Amino acid sequence: MGFTVIIKQSAQKQISKLPVAYQNKVKQVILALEKQPRPHGYIKLTGTDNIYRIRVGVYRIVYEIADKHLLIYIFDVEHRKDAYR
């Protein structure tokens, strides 16, 4: 049983503004999260309960995992210099 990924509209806009090569990589990583929400290289953000980030080159995908409901919420897809503000 896999997880369902929900991408916020603001995150979808951020993805559409990325260079095309990164758009494809980000989409692949997001699809992979459905099967494995905690893949190799993921990091739990300090000071949060269920918020994680994963690296895709110089970009970061920030997401929350709701294990009880089998949902993943994608909040942000930003360049590393802006992702943690």
Residue 68 lies in a domain: yes
pLDDT in tens, 66-76: 999 999 999 99
Domain range spanning residue 24?
Answer: 4-79
Residue 44 lies in a domain: yes
pLDDT in tens, 15-55: 999 999 999 999 999 999 999 999 999 999 999 889 999 99
| β-strand pairing of 59-66 with 71-79 | antiparallel
* pTM attached to this predicted model: 0.90
CATH number where 41 lies: 3.30.2310.20
Residue 84 lies in a domain: no
The domain total for the chain is: 1
DSSP characters over the chain: -PPEEEE-HHHHHHHHTS-HHHHHHHHHHHHHHHH-SS-TT-EEPTT-SSEEEEEETTEEEEEEEETTTTEEEEEEEEETTTTT-
pLDDT at 20: 93
Residue 41 lies in a domain: yes
pLDDT class of 1 with cuts at 50, 70, 90: low
